[in-house]
C-alpha cells in the first residue's frame, strides 16, 4: 500500500505495486490554524498553495516551497522531505514539522513528535535502536543540510531532542501513513527584491556560493544558459544580466548592495540585475519554477530524463563536484541543463539517456553507479530533496556503510515488519533500471499519426510521453489548463492523466486495442480542446492535437457522435442557413433538433443573423471594382494586385460572419480609420477548426488546402482575424496539418486585430471607459493578450484582465450533450463570479464567440469584441491617429 499526494515526484516513490491511496481528493483540509503560536494542523492531502492562502492572510507562510507548490501536497512533502527555494532561510520540511499523527500498517494510530518516550513496543524499539548505535548515526546521518537520501535517523539522537516526527519525514511512505501534521509557520516578509547575478559559466557560479551565502540571502538558486534556450516565453529572459549562468538571490531591500559587493569579489562575475517590481520577479522566477518541465527537452528537441536529477553536496564542495560531474557526463556522452538550489549544494539536471537500445539502458545503470561514487567522494547524497524512490534507492549502499544500511532496514522493520508499505523504496530496494518507462524490450504498436509533431520527430508515442508528471495541470488557478480537472478533481481528467493513458495506448500492453480504445475515448471526452496545455504545460503537451488525432482514427469509417456532424460541419450548415435565417432560427429552437444534433437540452442555440457580414460587405463595396475582384471574384490562383497603399486581408470566420456580423463590421470601421484598405478572401473560405476539433482530419485537410490556395493568391499582405480560435487555427494549426511552404507562408502573415494595429503604431481615439477582458483560451495559448492590453491602454480604457481561465464553452464542447454541467462549472471557476461582481458601468470584453455566448447565456450581462468598443468612438467622429506611411 502506497500513500500519494499530488503524484509530482520524479523518483517513483508513489508507483509501487498494490493499493495507492490518493489523499489529494478528500483529506485536504486545514484542521486548525493558530496565528498566535504560528502553527497549523492540516490533513496530508492539502495542496501547499491552499495552505499558503490561509497563512498569507496572517502574514505567515509554510517555509518549504518547492517549484510544484501549486499542486504538491503537504503529505507528499513530508514523504520526501521537500525543500524548495527558500530552504536557506527556512529549512526543509523536516525543520518545519512539529508533530505527526500517523497510522501503522496494522492500524495502530499514534501522535509522535520530539522527546521520544518508549510508551509502547514500537517506540521502545526505536529508542533501543538509537541508544545502541549513536556513533554510526552521528557520523553518517545529517552531515549537511541537503542529505535527504536514506532515513533521517540523526533527529533521534539525544542532542537533537529524540524527535520522532522529524525522523519520519522523508521516509517516503515506507514506515507509516500520515493522517495529519502539525506544522510550524514563519513570518512572511512584505517586501522582497530579487537580485540576479550573472556569471561566465556554471562553475564560476558554483564557486561563488560559499562567499555569497555568508550574506544570508533567502534564496540562492542557479541555472545555466542551456535551460534558458528551452524557455517558451522569451520575454522572461529580457532582464537576465550578461553571462552564461545566473544565481537568483531573493533578499530584503537592505541586502542588495552588500551582496553585489560580495559578488564582485568572486571570479567570473559579469553583471547584476535587481528586480524590485513584483511582476518582473514573477517573470524571472517562472524560468526557474518551470525548470523541471523545461529540462525534459534539450534545445535540439531530443528527450532528457530524470534519474540523477537531484544530487546534493555540501555547498563548499559544489564547484569541485560540478566540474567532475561535467567530466563524467562528457565521458558518457550525455547532455543536460543544470539548475537547482546552488546555495545548499543541490543540483537538478535531466540527462539525454538512451533507453531505446540495450546498450543505452546498460550505460544508464553504469552511469548511476559512477555518479553515486562521485557524489559520495564529495561528501554528498544522491538525493537533495526529491527522495530516493526507485530511481536511487539501490544506490544508497555506495554512499552509506553496511552498518548504516542495516540500521535503516531495522528502522523500517520496526514500523512495517511485513514490508507492505511502499516496498522497494529506500531499503530492500528494487533495481533502478527494473521498471523503466521506455525500454528496448517494449515494442510499441504501429500507430501512424496524421498530424505533424515536429518537436517529437513526428512520433506520436514520443509526443505523449512529453508528460513527465510534474503535474502543473493539477493546479486550480494561475493558468488555463486544465478546465475539466478543476471541475472533477479526477486524475483521469487532467492533462497528465490523459497523456499517460495515450502513452499506454501506444505501448499496447495495458491498453491493447490502439486507436479503438474506449478507455482513451472516455478519458478524452471531457477535454475541452482549449489548447491551454500547449502553452501552460512546461513540457508543451498539446492535448487538443492529441485528441483530434485520436478521434480521427477512432471513428475512421465508423458512425460518429451526432455532434460531430451537427457542429463539426457547422460552417457548411451555416452557409445553407444564410439563405433562410428566420426559418432556421425557428427550427433550431426545437428540442427535437437538439436531440438529433447531439446538443445539450439546456443550451440555447445561437441565432443566425438576418444579414451575414459577407452580404453586408458586398453591398458596401460594389463601387470598388478592384476590391470586389480581390474579395469575391478571384476563383483561380492568379495573383491579385492592389492599388491601395495599405491593404489588409480580413479573415471572415464562420462564427462572426453568420452569428455576430457586427463584430466584423466594427473591425472594418476601425481598420479603415487606421488607414487600411480592407479586403476579404475570395469565395467562402474556412480555417477548418470545427473539423479539426472533432477529429475529422481528412475534411480539415481539404478545407485548409482550399483556404491556402485562396490566401496564397493574395500574397504579401497581413491577414487579420477577429475570432481567436480561427486566428489560432490559421496561425498554428494550418502548417501542422498541411506541412507545405504555402501553408507556412500564409500562417506567417496572420495577426490578431490588436497585433495588427499595435504593429502599425495605431493610436486609437480616447475612451473614458472601464472594462474587464476575458482572453480566449486559443489566443492565450497561441499569441497571448499583450497587444490587446496595450491597445486598451492607448485608448485610455481602465481595463482589468481577468485571470487566465477557460469560459467552459470551448466551441462545440459546451454544446454537446452530457457536457453542460462541466461547462458551467468551468465558467464558475473565475469568469462568471468576476462578471457578477463587476460594477454596472464595467464593460465586458471577450473577443471569442464562445466566451461571449457563455457570458450571455449564464449571466445578465452581454460581452463585446474589442473591435466593437473602438468602433463606437470611431463612428461617433472621434479622431484617431492612423499609422505612418
Q: What is the C-alpha separation between 637 and 795, in angstroms, rounded? A: 40
C-alpha cell at 163: 524527535
Nearest in space to 82 (alpha carbons), one of 70, 69, 98 = 69
| Domain shared by 733 and 758, yes or no | yes
**Per-residue model confidence (pLDDT) at position 234:** 64
188 neighbors 67 (Cβ within 8 angstroms) = no
- The neighbouring-strand residues paired with 521 are none
Over the stretch 90-133, which tens digit does the pLDDT of each residue have?
Answer: 999 999 999 999 999 999 999 999 988 888 999 999 999 999 99
Q: Cα separation of 790 and 276, whole Å?
A: 22
Residue 276 Cα to chain centre, angstroms: 26
- pLDDT at position 624 over 70: no
Q: Are residues 543 and 616 in the same domain?
A: no
214 and 128 assigned to the same domain: no
Q: Comparing 215 with 877, which gets the higher pLDDT?
A: 215
In a domain, 821, yes or no: yes
Strand arrangement of the beta sheet that strand 193-199 belongs to: 269-275, 193-199, 245-251, 221-224, 338-341, 346-349
Interior angle at CA 25, CA 19 and CA 28, nearest 5:
115
* Residue 365 is assigned to a structural domain of this protein: no
For range 396-410, the mean pLDDT:
97
Assigned domain for 649 exists: yes
With residues binned 3-state (H G I as helix, E B as strand, rest as coil), the percentages for the chain, rounded to 5, are 45, 15, 45
Residue at which a domain ends, from 539, 554, 569? 554
CA-based torsion, 369, 375, 377, 381: positive or negative: negative
Report residue 750: phi and psi, to 5°.
-75, 135
Do 153 and 199 sit in the same domain of this protein? no
CATH number, domain with residue 197? 3.30.70.2190
Q: Indicate yes or no: pTM above 0.85.
A: yes
Both 148 and 70 in one domain: the answer is yes
For residue 117, the tally of other CB atoms under 10 A from its CB is 10
Query: Is residue 359 included in any domain, yes or no?
Result: no
> Of 182, 291, 280, 272, whose CA–CA distance to 232 is shortest?
291
- Cell numbers 512584505 correspond to 190
The continuous run of DSSP H or E covering 285 comes out as helix 278-289
In a domain, 607, yes or no: yes
C-alpha 279/C-alpha 789 separation (Å) is 15
Question: Is the pLDDT assigned to residue 135 strictly greater than 90?
Answer: yes
- Three-class SS state of 206: helix
The pLDDT assigned to 628 comes to 39
Q: Is the pLDDT of residue 641 over 60?
A: no
Nearest to 472 by CA among 560, 547, 535: 535
Burial class (CB in 10 A: 0-12, 13-18, 19+), 353: buried
Q: Comparing 81-85, 290-294, 453-457, 764-768, which segment has the lowest mean pLDDT?
A: 290-294
| 200-216 confidence digits (pLDDT tens) | 999 999 999 999 999 99
How far, in Å, CA of 42 to CA of 46, rounded? 7
Distance CA 65, CA 415 (A): 29
Same domain, yes or no: 870 and 745: yes
CB-based contacts of 225-228 (< 8 A; 24+ apart in sequence): 226/298, 226/299, 226/335, 226/336, 226/337, 226/338, 227/287, 227/291, 227/294, 227/295, 227/337, 227/338, 227/339, 228/287
Instruction: Say if 428 falls within a structural domain.
Output: no
Closest CA to 718 of 709, 737, 705, 731: 731
Closest C-alpha to 645, from 677, 691, 690: 677
Q: Residue 384 domain-assigned?
A: no
> What does the chain come to in residues?
885
Same domain, yes or no: 538 and 684? no
Residue 635, pLDDT > 90, answer no
The DSSP output letter for 141 is S
- What is the pLDDT, as a whole number, of residue 10? 85
DSSP assignment string, 629-659: IIIII--SS-------SSEEEE---HHHHHT
Residues 346, 253 share a domain? yes
Q: How confident is the model at residue 874 (pLDDT cuts 50, 70, 90)?
A: confident
The pLDDT tens digits of the residues spanning 524-571 come to 999 999 999 999 998 889 999 999 999 999 999 999 999 999 999 999
**Residues whose CB falls within 8 Å of the CB of residue 510, separated by 6 or more in sequence, listed in order:** 504
pLDDT in tens, 224-271: 998 888 776 666 788 899 999 999 999 999 999 999 999 999 999 999
Q: In terms of Cα–Cα distance, which of 293, 314, 222 is closest to 10?
A: 293
Range of the structural domain that residue 315 is part of: 193-353
SS (H, E, C) 344-413: HCEEEECECCCCCCHHHHHHHHHHHHHHHHHHHHCCCECCCCCCCHHHHHHHHHHCCCHHHHHHHHHHHH
Q: Are 485 and 474 in contact (CB under 8 A)?
A: yes
- Higher pLDDT pick, 657 / 631: 657
pLDDT of residue 625: 43
Cis peptide before 482 (omega within 30 of 0): yes
Sign of CA dihedral 713, 715, 717, 723: positive
- The position carrying cell 564542495 is 317
Q: Which helix (H) or strand (E) holds 793?
A: helix 786-794
Mean pLDDT on 276-282: 91
3-state secondary structure 594-612: HHHCCECCCCCCCCCCCCC
Domain count, the chain: 4
Examine the domain organization and report whether 176 and 246 are in the same domain: no
- Residue 12: CATH number of its domain: 3.30.465.10
**Residue finishing a domain among 353, 369, 387:** 353
C-alpha to C-alpha distance for 234 and 784, rounded to whole angstroms: 13
The answer to whether residue 881 scores a pLDDT higher than 60 is no
What percentage of the chain exceeds 90 in pLDDT?
A: 83
156 and 261 assigned to the same domain: no
Of 151, 172, 187, the residue that ends a domain is 187
Name which of 80-94, 417-431, 465-479, 777-791 the model is least confident about.
465-479
Instruction: State residue 228's pLDDT score.
Output: 86
Mean pLDDT, residues 597-617 taken together: 96
Q: What's the mean pLDDT when you consider all of the chain?
A: 92
C-alpha cell of residue 254: 537592505
Asked whether residue 88 is domain-assigned, the answer is yes
Q: What are phi and psi of 84, to 5 degrees?
A: 90, -175
Query: Do 842 and 757 belong together in one domain?
Result: yes
What are the residues facing 183 on neighbouring strands?
A: 40, 97
The pLDDT value recorded for residue 74 is 98
468 and 584 share one domain: no
Compare 634 and 167 and report the one with higher pLDDT.
167
Q: What percent of the chain has pLDDT over 70?
A: 95
Amino acid at each position: 500500500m502506497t500513500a500519494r499526494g499530488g503524484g509530482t515526484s520524479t523518483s517513483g516513490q508513489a508507483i509501487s505495486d498494490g493499493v495507492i491511496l490518493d489523499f489529494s481528493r478528500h483529506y485536504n483540509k486545514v484542521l486548525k490554524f493558530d496565528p498566535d503560536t504560528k502553527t497549523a494542523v492540516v490533513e496530508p492531502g492539502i495542496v501547499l498553495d491552499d495552505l499558503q492562502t490561509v497563512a498569507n492572510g496572517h502574514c505567515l507562510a509554510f517555509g518549504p516551497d518547492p517549484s510544484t507548490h501549486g499542486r504538491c501536497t503537504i503529505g507528499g512533502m513530508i514523504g520526501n522531505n521537500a525543500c524548495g527555494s527558500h530552504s536557506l532561510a527556512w529549512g526543509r520540511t523536516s525543520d518545519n514539522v512539529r508533530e505527526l499523527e500517523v497510522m501503522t500498517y496494522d492500524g495502530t494510530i499514534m501522535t509522535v513528535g520530539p522527546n521520544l518516550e518508549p510508551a509502547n513496543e514500537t517506540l521502545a524499539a526505536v529508542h533501543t535502536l538509537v541508544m545502541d548505535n549513536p556513533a554510526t548515526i552521528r557520523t553518517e546521518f545529517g552531515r549537511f543540510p541537503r542529505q535527504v537520501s536514506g532515513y533521517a535517523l540523526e533527529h533521534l539522537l539525544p542532542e537533537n531532542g529524540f524527535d520522532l516526527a522529524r525522523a519520519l519525514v522523508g521516509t517516503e511512505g515506507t514506515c507509516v501513513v500520515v493522517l495529519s501534521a502539525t506544522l510550524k509557520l514563519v513570518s512572511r516578509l512584505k517586501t522582497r527584491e530579487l537580485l540576479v547575478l550573472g556569471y561566465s559559466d556554471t562553475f564560476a557560479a558554483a564557486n561563488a556560493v560559499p562567499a555569497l551565502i555568508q550574506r544570508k540571502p533567502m534564496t540562492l538558486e542557479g541555472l545555466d544558459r542551456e535551460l534558458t534556450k528551452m524557455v517558451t516565453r522569451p520575454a522572461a529572459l529580457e532582464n537576465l544580466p550578461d553571462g552564461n549562468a545566473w544565481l537568483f538571490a531573493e533578499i530584503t531591500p537592505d541586502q542588495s548592495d552588500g551582496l553585489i559587493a560580495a559578488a564582485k569579489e568572486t571570479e567570473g562575475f559579469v553583471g547584476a540585475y535587481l528586480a524590485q517590481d513584483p511582476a518582473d520577479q514573477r517573470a524571472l522566477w517562472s524560468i526557474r519554477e518551470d525548470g523541471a518541465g523545461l529540462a525534459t527537452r534539450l534545445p535540439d528537441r531530443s528527450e532528457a530524463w530524470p534519474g540523477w536529477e537531484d544530487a546534493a553536496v555540501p555547498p563548499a564542495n559544489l564547484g569541485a563536484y560540478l566540474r567532475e560531474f561535467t567530466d563524467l557526463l562528457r565521458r558518457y556522452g550525455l547532455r543536460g541543463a543544470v539548475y537547482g538550489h546552488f546555495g545548499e549544494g543541490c543540483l537538478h539536471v535531466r540527462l539525454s539517456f538512451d533507453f531505446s537500445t540495450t546498450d543505452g539502458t546498460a550505460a544508464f545503470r553504469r552511469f548511476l553507479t559512477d555518479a553515486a561514487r562521485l557524489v559520495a567522494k564529495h561528501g554528498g547524497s544522491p538525493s537533495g530533496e526529491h527522495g530516493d524512490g526507485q530511481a536511487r534507492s539501490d544506490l544508497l549502499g555506495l554512499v552509506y556503510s553496511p552498518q548504516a544500511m542495516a540500521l535503516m532496514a531495522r528502522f523500517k522493520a520496526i514500523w512495517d515488519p511485513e514490508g507492505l508499505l511502499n516496498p522497494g523504496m529506500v531499503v530492500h530496494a528494487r533495481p533502478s533500471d527494473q521498471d523503466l518507462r521506455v525500454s528496448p524490450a517494449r515494442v510499441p504498436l504501429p500507430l501512424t499519426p496524421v498530424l505533424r509533431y515536429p518537436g517529437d520527430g513526428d512520433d506520436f508515442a514520443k509526443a505523449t510521453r512529453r508528460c513527465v508528471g510534474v503535474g502543473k495541470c493539477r493546479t486550480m488557478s494561475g493558468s488555463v489548463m486544465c478546465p475539466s480537472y478543476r471541475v472533477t478533481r479526477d486524475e483521469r481528467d487532467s492533462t497528465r492523466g490523459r497523456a499517460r493513458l495515450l502513452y499506454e495506448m501506444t505501448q499496447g500492453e495495458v491498453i491493447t486495442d490502439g486507436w479503438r480504445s474506449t478507455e482513451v475515448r472516455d478519458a478524452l471526452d471531457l477535454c475541452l480542446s482549449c489548447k491551454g496545455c500547449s502553452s501552460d504545460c512546461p513540457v508543451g503537451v498539446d492535448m487538443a492535437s492529441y485528441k483530434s488525432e485520436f478521434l480521427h482514427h477512432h471513428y475512421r469509417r465508423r458512425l460518429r457522435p451526432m455532434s460531430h456532424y451537427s457542429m463539426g460541419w457547422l460552417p457548411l450548415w451555416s452557409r445553407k442557413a444564410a439563405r433562410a435565417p428566420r426559418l432556421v432560427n425557428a427550427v433550431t429552437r426545437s428540442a427535437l433538433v437538439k436531440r438529433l444534433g447531439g446538443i445539450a437540452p439546456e443550451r440555447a442555440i445561437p441565432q443566425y443573423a438576418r444579414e451575414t457580414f459577407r452580404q453586408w460587405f458586398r453591398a458596401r463595396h460594389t463601387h470598388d471594382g478592384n476590391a470586389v475582384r480581390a474579395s469575391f471574384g478571384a476563383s483561380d490562383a492568379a495573383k491579385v494586385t492592389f492599388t491601395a497603399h495599405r491593404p489588409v486581408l480580413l479573415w471572415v470566420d464562420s462564427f462572426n460572419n453568420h452569428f455576430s456580423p457586427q463584430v466584423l463590421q466594427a473591425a472594418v470601421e476601425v481598420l479603415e480609420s487606421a488607414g487600411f484598405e480592407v479586403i476579404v478572401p475570395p469565395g467562402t473560405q474556412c480555417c477548418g477548426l470545427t473539423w479539426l476539433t472533432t477529429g475529422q482530419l481528412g475534411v480539415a485537410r481539404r478545407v485548409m488546402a482550399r483556404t491556402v490556395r485562396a490566401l496564397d493568391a493574395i500574397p504579401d499582405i497581413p491577414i487579420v482575424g477577429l475570432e481567436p480560435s480561427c486566428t489560432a487555427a490559421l496561425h498554428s494549426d494550418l502548417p501542422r496539418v498541411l506541412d507545405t511552404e504555402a501553408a507556412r507562408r500564409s500562417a506567417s502573415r496572420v495577426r490578431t486585430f490588436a497585433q495588427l494595429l499595435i504593429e502599425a503604431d495605431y493610436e486609437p481615439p480616447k475612451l473614458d471607459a472601464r472594462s474587464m477582458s476575458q482572453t480566449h483560451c486559443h489566443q492565450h495559448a497561441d499569441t497571448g493578450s499583450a497587444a490587446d492590453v496595450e491597445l486598451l491602454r492607448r485608448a485610455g480604457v481602465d481595463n482589468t484582465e481577468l485571470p487566465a481561465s477557460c469560459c467552459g464553452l470551448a466551441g462545440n464542447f459546451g454544446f454537446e450533450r452530457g457536457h453542460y454541467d462541466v461547462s458551467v462549472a468551468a465558467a464558475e471557476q473565475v469568469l462568471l463570479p468576476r462578471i457578477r461582481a463587476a460594477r454596472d458601468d464595467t464593460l465586458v470584453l471577450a473577443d471569442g464567440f464562445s466566451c461571449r455566448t457563455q457570458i450571455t447565456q449564464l449571466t445578465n450581462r452581454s460581452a463585446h469584441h474589442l473591435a466593437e468598443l473602438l468602433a463606437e468612438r470611431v463612428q461617433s467622429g472621434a479622431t484617431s491617429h492612423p499609422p505612418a506611411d
